[in-house]
Chain A
Amino acid sequence: MTYVINRLLSVILTLFLITLVTFAVTNILPGDVAMMIMGTQSNPAALAGLRESLGLNDPLLVQYAHWVTGLLTGDWGNSLIFKKPIVELLIQKAVASGIIVAMSMTIALVLAVPLGVWAAVHRDRWQDTVSSSASLLGVSLPDFFWGIVMILVFARALGWFPSSGFVEPSQDLWGTLQHAFLPSLALGLGLMAHLTRMTRSTMTGILSQEFIRVARAKGLAERTVIWRYALANAIGPVITIAGLQIGYLFGSIIVMETLFGYTGMGWLTYQALLNRDLPLIQDTVFLIAAVVMLTNLAVDLLYVLIDPRIRLG
């Protein structure tokens, strides 16, 4: 229990560090949102007026204190480019991204686990090479390549799925899932590579262990040995790695969400950054950081649960 409390405290400490770093970095970035709003219409007089009306002229320390107290009190401020309360934007976009994160993770696991098991069972034979080559081919071309291939095949040629867009789940859940499927599939293929390799190496380790030999000696069917006994023991570490990939996923969804016009957190972060919408950058970065860190925390706790050899402390 002390371990859990310690880890929680450290998450809070890290989040505080994140606010400091994010605030510093966003303020180093040259240019500001007033300039982005005006674009090539901007001139010194107009910029000064707009900056004043956007409240960009406050001293940095005041801005930082304002932001952090806002985070704590639930007042996350307003987006300067979209002119909307940030909380409202974050809720809407987090739901959208949550759907594709969950969907792509499921797809990746469903594909990677059997492929990894297959490779491990046939270790060092052609099946192994095929499995690792196939999974590596997935990461040899960037996410957007697979995204565009999905659009061309499943939307344009076959017409099975919509080519782009996002539908509110509250309006039409089936529509939401249809729109989410192609970006999730493309993301899932990218995630798969790592997971396949992880499954393979964990399974190889387990298959050489004593209890498997015992199970085989007892005359259990090979299928039962592999899927019931070995995999049950391998799935923990695989899920652990899957959890760690959440951070990586938040990087990839930026491209995928833009490509599919499926506007979630990644897209929002990207827009905030490109437009130098500092309050929105800071809040999105903070939220993503919090999610990534809580996932990592969960993963660490899982590690401890699975592997009792690791002592708490």
Chain B
Amino acid sequence: MKRRDFLRNSTAILGSGFIGASLPTALWAEDAPVKGGTLIWGHSETTQNLDMHQTGTASSGRVLQNIHSSIVTVDKDLKVIPGLAESFEVAADGLTYTFKMRANVKFHNGAVMTSADVKYSFERCKDPATGAVNFEVFNNVASIETPDDLTVVIKMSAVNAPFLSRLAENGAGVVMPKDSGPTQGTNPMGAGPFKFVSYEVGTVVKMARHDDYWEGPAFLDAVEAREITEPTTRLTGLRTGELHMINDIPLDRVKELQGDATLQVKTWFPLNFDFINLNHTFEPFQKPEVRIAFDMIIDKEALMQGALWGQGATTASPSFPTSASYNHDLKQRPQDIEGAKKMLAAAGYPEGSLNIVFKATTNYPYHVEAAQILVEWFKAAGVNLTIEQLTWADWLSQCWVNKDFQMTMINFFTLWEPDFLYYSVWNSTGAFNFRAIKDKVIDDLTTKARITVDDAARADIYKQVQQQIWEQSHDIVLWFRNGTIGAQPKVMGLDTVVHPNGSNLNFHKVWLAA
């Protein structure tokens, strides 16, 4: 099936997590994996803090995922499955979680994992003094008990339905050896498939195989994550053979690389979802008609082709496409510039009367490209849109923290957990509600979902939330963007690299052909 057909038939995309892999499939399907070799990976970003708890950026997490293991994880349908715990149980009242840990799991220092390590790790993450990014995951945790070496009992002070799936996220659920906290920032240690070897700031992170890994040792002897942030340089490194693999092929170059028979290209979706944000404290956007009219001005498919070079898929639902809460009935409003003009005039904003500043961050160059395309459509609709480019720090402080903007655009990575997504982003008290949206319907629904233990009923509530977001056009949901990897033909097992959350990379099952 061609890529175009995928785009037309959105249900086909939603059926599976991965699309568009142009791999010479025969190459690895029959060969038996070979042990040995060092994978040289051209990493697109700079690793900062090596302490998994203190790391909020996807970039550091992408590397550290190989060093740590989590108590639970998710399968490709984002269902929570055992990790370092071989089983887990939630009491009927939703207040007690019991984890049975695997026996004989060895950390990189040779110590055997026990329930005390779990207790230590979770309490470290919960302690505000640690500065853990995910500390609020443990907000409702009243106590962590360890009745024996392999049992962990967590008691909650209030029902928190998403707790288990939040543990499957970066950082929150990793188990570190007891008392290793102070050295995690310089010598990260866990129970993952690779041991930390060395780190030169801005240059390279080196890791070596952990022979006692609980899921069996990896094939590779070592992984070298070389940090090459400049896209052209990274591409050149792959082409000259200096690098075995790179992540984040620039979107505009994916087609070109796919046409290159000497390289493998893997694209998957979604890496993240993007949406256009309207500040609800800005007077015109207090009227739903204005927000709907703005939605109607935008041709999402054309914008996606323009800004992402076709490397994505448009969506009206921000739910992770493989998750149960994805609302398949929602469709994006088609472009109707004349209709939008009429709606705006009826709302009291005739042609030429609206002057809007669109703040776009240079951190995501495709946001700036998208904004430039929007300017043209808005001009046709009689709205004068001007662009202000902001560095990431300025965007965060102006838009995210101080809510000082009219219109902007942002994306989220790995927000597959629906409570985390809908409560944080759209509830009026949500931590990520930087548009100051106040919608009683959404508030009630998201609060109700939090204490609804039944999974199907919860998913249904979230579908109603999406319906409401769309009807009111609180934000304009655009698309899911593809993630990309390019590699030499000898790199095998590429389709095991990407975690179901679409962001993390794991090299446990990767091997290099001779």
Contacts and interface: CB of A to CB of B under 8 A. Distances in A.
Direct contact, A vs B (beta carbon within 8 Å): yes
Interface of A: 29-31, 35-46, 49-50, 52-54, 81-84, 89, 92-93, 148, 151-152, 155-156, 159, 162-166, 168, 258-261, 263, 267-268, 271, 274-276
12 contacts: A30-B394, A31-B397, A37-B57, A40-B432, A42-B396, A45-B136, A163-B237, A168-B200, A259-B233, A274-B391, A275-B393, A276-B393
B165 to A, nearest CB: 16
Contact of A38 (B56, B228, B397): B56
A44 B424 CA distance: 12
A168 B228 CA distance: 17
Given A92-B200, A259-B230, A276-B393, A162 B48 contact: no
B393 A31 contact: yes
Nearest to A39: B56
Contacts of A30: 393-394, 397-398
A36 B393 contact: yes
Interface string B234-271: 10110110100000000000000000000000000000
Given A49-B131, A274-B393, A83 B50 contact: yes
A89 B236 CA distance: 28
A35 B431 contact: no
Contacts of A268: 201-202
A274 B391 CA distance: 8
A172 B49 CA distance: 27
Interface of B: 46, 48-51, 54-57, 128-131, 133-136, 185-186, 200-204, 226-230, 232-234, 236-237, 239-240, 242, 391-394, 396-398, 400-401, 410, 412, 424, 431-432
A82 B396 contact: no
A83 B229 CA distance: 20
B374 to A, nearest CB: 21
A165 B128 CA distance: 37
A142 B234 CA distance: 20
Contacts of A52: 128-129
B240 to A, nearest CB: 6
Contacts of B242: 162-164
A36 B392 contact: yes
A46 B133 contact: yes
B135 A258 contact: no
Contact of B240 (A45, A159, A258): A159
A257 B185 CA distance: 25
A92 B239 CA distance: 29
B240 A155 contact: yes
A156 B431 contact: no
Most A Cβ at <10 Å: residue of B46, B51, B135:
B46
Nearest to A36: B393
A38 B130 CA distance: 14
Contact of A40 (B201, B203, B412): B412
A261 B234 CA distance: 9
Contacts of B424: 43
Contacts of B229: 258, 261
B240 A82 contact: no
Nearest to A53: B131
Contacts of B226: 164-165, 261
Contacts of B400: 35, 40, 42
Given A42-B396, A49-B131, A168-B200, 5 more contacts: A36-B393, A42-B56, A43-B432, A163-B242, A261-B227
Most B Cβ at <10 Å: residue of A31, A54, A92, A168:
A31
Interface residue SS majority, chain A: helix
B398 A83 contact: no
Contacts of A35: 393, 396-397, 400-401
Contact of B232 (A40, A50, A92, A148): A148
Contacts of B185: 83
A168 B239 CA distance: 24
B56 A41 contact: yes
B135 A49 contact: yes
Contacts of B130: 53
Contact of A164 (B133, B233, B398): B233
Contacts of A275: 48, 393
Contacts of A44: 431
A49 B128 contact: yes
B51 A274 contact: no
Contact of A83 (B51, B135, B239, B432): B51
Contacts of A166: 200, 203
A50 B133 CA distance: 8
A270 to B, nearest CB: 10
B389 to A, nearest CB: 14
A151 B237 CA distance: 10
Contact of B133 (A38, A93, A148, A155): A38
Given A37-B57, A52-B129, A46 B136 contact: yes
Nearest to A255: B230
Contact of B49 (A40, A82, A168): A82
Contacts of A258: 229-230
Contacts of A36: 392-393, 396
Contact of A37 (B133, B135, B394, B432): B133
A42 B401 contact: yes
Closest 5 pairs between A and B when the two form their complex, measured CB to CB: A43-B431, A263-B202, A31-B397, A53-B131, A49-B128
A219 B393 CA distance: 68
A93 B200 CA distance: 10
B203 to A, nearest CB: 5
A164 B228 CA distance: 8
A89 B203 CA distance: 12
Most A Cβ at <10 Å: residue of B48, B133, B202, B233:
B202
Contacts of A151: 232-233, 236
Contacts of A54: 131
Contacts of B55: 37
B396 A165 contact: no
Contacts of A155: 236, 240
A166 B230 CA distance: 14
B401 A271 contact: no
Nearest to A37: B56
A53 B431 contact: no
B402 to A, nearest CB: 8
Most B Cβ at <10 Å: residue of A36, A41, A165:
A41
Contacts of A37: 48-49, 54-57, 133
B24 to A, nearest CB: 24
Nearest to B396: A35
B465 to A, nearest CB: 19
Contacts of A49: 128-129, 131, 135
Nearest to B397: A31
A29 B51 CA distance: 27
B421 to A, nearest CB: 12
B208 to A, nearest CB: 17
A81 B135 CA distance: 18
B158 to A, nearest CB: 16
Nearest to A52: B128
Contacts of A168: 200
